[in-house]
Amino acid sequence: MFSAPPSYSTTLLAFMKRKASLRYRIISLSAGTILFLLLLPSLFFAVGRFFSRAFPVDWPREIEIGVACFTIPLGLFFLVWATLTQWRIGQGTPAPNAPTQRLVVEGPYKLCRNPIQLGAVLYYAGTGSLFGDLSTGLVCLLLVLIVGGGYHKFVEEKELELRFGAAYSAYRRQTPFLIPRIWKR
């Protein structure tokens, strides 16, 4: 008798619910760190440099350094805090191949649903400003917003809704997407 292949959502759920070993999570986290803190910023930096040379703006270097000195540490703070929260509370990583085993709504996830993207936006803007110029940093910021925002809206949120159902839907309604809510309603 012919049986239909499992649906995409069934396959995705089975993959996401499997428990990853500690070694696998460490390897996934290391690969993600290299990709998102070195390789992707380099690509975005190259695109940013292209645009900043095509449309030059003469920013004072002191402002560019000031932006970098503020945004890089703040971005890294959010990246590390969110990653450690996923590791400790969710028993997983930000990497899709070793995801959290439970919905994480504590720590930076109380402030916004995507603190890792918030950290990346700040980090990429700062590194672009530090190693290029402020225009490069702004292009990096826009690229992270577009690429990361698209991924989170069209892929990750659907996957989280499949995995965590009503709990994620309620969290999504109560918590801002990217700009932290630092006050109580």
Per-residue tens of pLDDT for the chain, all 185 residues: 555 455 555 555 555 666 778 888 888 888 888 888 888 888 999 999 999 889 889 999 999 999 999 999 999 999 999 999 999 999 988 888 888 999 999 999 999 999 999 999 999 999 999 999 999 999 999 999 999 999 999 999 999 999 999 999 999 999 999 999 777 65
Instruction: Enumerate long-range contacts of 59-65, CB under 8 Å, 24 or more apart.
Output: 59/133, 59/134, 59/135, 63/134, 64/129, 64/130, 64/133, 64/134, 64/137, 65/129, 65/130
pTM of the model: 0.84
CA dihedral (11, 96, 84, 169) positive or negative? negative
**Calpha distance 132→20 (Å, rounded):** 39
The Cα–Cα gap between 81 and 99 comes to 16
**Predicted pLDDT at 12:** 55
Quote the CA–CA distance of 128 and 15 in Å, as a whole number.
36
Tokens of 47: 């695109």
pLDDT at 90: 93
Residue 184's pLDDT is 63
Q: Quote the CA–CA distance of 172 and 18 in Å, as a whole number.
A: 24
User: Residue 56: its pLDDT value, please?
Assistant: 87
At residue 17, the pLDDT reads 64
**Which pLDDT score, from 0 to 100, does residue 118 have?**
97
Dist. CA 55–CA 35, nearest whole Å:
28
* Assigned token pair, 121: 């936006």
